[in-house]
Structure 1
């Protein structure tokens, strides 16, 4: 075949040379254009020269994809993403995380994902956020992965498409779709329902902590067993929170939390009481547990029982809530400005606006500098409306 082609090219070249009005055809050029494809383009040069990517991004991407065989198709992909609302910075992020996008098929791989999410009720800006938070979604099949996952959610939870769209947004723009829901989320939901946890609580939890439902079912069952052994009432609203807290802690981390509480003077019964009342305390850092407990003990007015009875204290901000309010209340008590001593938990759980109205603005001469400076804008707003 090769010999035949060569003979044909030579014959064509000789014929052209016999006609003075025709430009001779180079045998070498004929061979080149007939048999040699365009040379591939180095990805780093392509991204920097043609699309003005940063050198850092270009070289990082080139470590995964070195050459482009069809740069014009890559141009189409990047143009489509820009037209869909992606900025230059967005594009760099997507390509850095998912370099395979450069050689994807625009019509069969990229565009169907956008249509899928737009049909679900996402806006164009939602889709941009979705892809930015989870670029790997561009590599997932609509028919075999994304679509079945949505149908699975609907079948188990009974949501309409608007509800599914809302949950996907609240759960980090759909990271749960990266998993096989038939093997994780669905059996976990069914098991938790069998434990007496309401569907409405499960639904809310999926919005705020979807990763919990993606654990292997055996892990969820282990956590339920641990919480049951602690004496939790399954009908209590904190039951699910307790399971979630346990699920994200290793045995070593759990032991470390226990040691911190014991070092502060908590008994084992105290620790168990704290966990039962507010499981999320065990998600707080050891440093914060120490700082807040020692803050109250240092006043000389409170002991461990304050925290045991009110574990929500360990979740509040030290600098923005606990310390300023403690200082204000100490001054008001010392100067006998309070007709009735309020519950400390009531004081700490108030909104900033309510606290300012009740304990700061009426006594601004005495305590203004302790608190109002930090909340100046809010105080000005309240004063303007009174």
Structure 2
């Protein structure tokens, strides 16, 4: 298991090494190779980028192929992010796609496309915010201009994409 973890590019002295060992123990050494190949194919990552991801977010090695595929489709196809950017900010892949990533993406995209957000940080920053801070920064200030924003964001968090978000 140690050799398998080191083979992923995670140094033995790294604080994340024990997490990678845990992932190898849970998933199994034989399946780790298949999971790494799947990550490379699905996210279009190089061996080095998979190593970066394994070091930063080893819990991704335990995610299902379906979850990884859905995350890849969202980040690459829908958001248009570059595979290398995703690898370097792989913590984004640990957040819930349906209750955090998509709702925030749709909400901020709506605000941007309607000219309500002038200074726009990266989606990485937006995804990292706590729910309270996200609401304070991106929903409350725009309640007058977009009175249904709270309800639309709440609906998006439940998996429903409001038509106002799609038509923006």
What is the TM-score with the length of structure 2 in the denominator?
A: 0.80
Partner of 2:66: 287
Partner of 2:5: 227
2:130 equivalent among 351, 355, 374: 351
Partner SS, residue 288 of structure 1 = helix
Contact 1:327 1:370 in 2 (8 A): no
Given the alignment of the two structures, is residue 306 of structure 1 paired with residue 82 of structure 2, yes or no?
no
Given the alignment of the two structures, is residue 372 of structure 1 paired with residue 154 of structure 2, yes or no?
yes
Q: Distance in 2 between matches of 1:312 and 1:274?
A: 9
Q: Distance in 2 between matches of 1:242 and 1:274?
A: 11
Given the alignment of the two structures, is residue 256 of structure 1 paired with residue 57 of structure 2, yes or no?
no
Partner of 1:8: none
Q: Distance in 1 between matches of 2:27 and 2:102?
A: 29
Based on CA coordinates, which of the two structures has the bigger radius of gyration?
1
Equivalent residues in 2 for 1:46-65 (5 A)? none
Q: Which has the higher contact order (CA 8 A, sep 6+)?
A: 2
* RMSD of Structure 2 on Structure 1 (CA): 2.2
Contact 2:9 2:51 in 1 (8 A): no
Q: Distance in 2 between matches of 1:281 and 1:326?
A: 21
- Runs of 5+ unmatched residues, structure 1: 1-222, 376-386
Deviations 1:73-115 (A, max 9, x none): xxxxxxxxxxxxxxxxxxxxxxxxxxxxxxxxxxxxxxxxxxx
Relative distance call for 1:268 and 1:234 in structure 2 (3 A) is closer
Relative distance call for 1:307 and 1:235 in structure 2 (3 A) is same
Contact 2:53 2:87 in 1 (8 A): yes
Relative distance call for 1:261 and 1:225 in structure 2 (3 A) is closer
Deviates more, 1:287-296 or 1:233-242: 233-242
What is the deviation of 1:271? 1.4
Deviations 1:39-74 (A, max 9, x none): xxxxxxxxxxxxxxxxxxxxxxxxxxxxxxxxxxxx
Equivalent residues in 2 for 1:1-386 (5 A)? 223-264=1-42, 265-364=44-143, 365-366=145-146, 367-373=149-155
